[in-house]
Amino acid sequence: MSLKVKGVELILKNHELLAKLSGDIDQHSAKGMRDEIDLAIKDFRPLLLILDFGDVKFMDSSGIGLIMGRYNLAKSYGASLKIQNVSPRLEKIIKLAGVGILGVL
Amino acid sequence: MKDIVNEVNISFLSKSCNESFARATISAFVAQLDPTIDELTDIKTAVSEAVTNCIAHGYQNEFGMVYITAQIFFGGHVVIKIKDRGCGIENVKQAMEPLFTTGGNERSGLGFAVMQSFMDKIHVSSKPQRGTTVTLEKFIIRRSVKNEIQ
């Protein structure tokens, strides 16, 4: 199953939900991405949620809020979170939060 | 004013869809200094954080105007002032602490930390019920000088 809306493409395979994010992530766009991902987590109950940042062109600290929020929701549904394809630029922001500590980087 | 090379002023309604307009406009203005992509992205990110603060915190559940003045001084000194006439910040020192947020689960509380780490200087002045002004500064070194250093 695959669904693409509002800067996020959702791909469900076995028990893995892959969310491929694209474009700019700021406070404005993060809301739409968050709603789509959360709906999919609640509907499909994956065991693993993967956030893919490969096509993200810009991100501010709203992206960190997006990761932290999804980490908490996934955890409450018994799923783990992994983030992948993070550019050095994005890593610079994520590391400010110490999100690496979550073991998802 | 004698050292000023160029200046631009923009103002817009505090709608979150204007965040991308604000950072793109300011980055287009700074581009005349021939910055590296990294320097430009630093500025874009810091502007995005400051504008988000005006919209999400300064004006919260109402709409108001956000004002940005960007100035270039001799020597590649960029000064960007981002101002709102919103609710203001009671305790600026606390607001600037990393991970502090009044915005709930979906906010990282890292806005000021990003501005501090990506810009050379940041100053925040705020009065409750009057509004907040964030001043961001960065020095863009001319590319010819950069090449000499390397």
Q: Where are the domains of chain A?
A: 2-102
Q: Hey, what domains does chain B have and what are their CATH numbers?
A: 4-143 (3.30.565.10)
Residue A96, chain B, CB below 8 Å: the answer is yes
Report the percent of chain B where pLDDT is more than 90: 81
More confident residue, B6 or A102: B6
Is the domain spanning A2-102 CATH 3.30.750.24? The answer is yes
- Calpha distance B68→B73 (Å, rounded): 16
B53 is catalytic: yes
Residue A87, chain B, CB below 8 Å: the answer is no
Q: pLDDT tens across A37-71, in order?
A: 999 999 999 999 999 999 999 999 999 999 999 99
Q: Are the beta carbons of B138 and B76 closer than 8 angstroms?
A: no
**Chain B hits for A28, Cβ within 8 Å:** 16-17, 19-20
More confident residue, B105 or B86: B86
- Examine the pLDDT at B150 and tell me if it is beyond 70: no
Predicted structure pTM score = 0.92
Active-site entry in B19, B23, B39, B49: B49
- Examine the pLDDT at B54 and tell me if it is beyond 60: yes
pLDDT band, residue A99 (cuts 50/70/90): low
Report ipTM for this prediction: 0.90
Averaged over B4-10, what is the pLDDT? 97
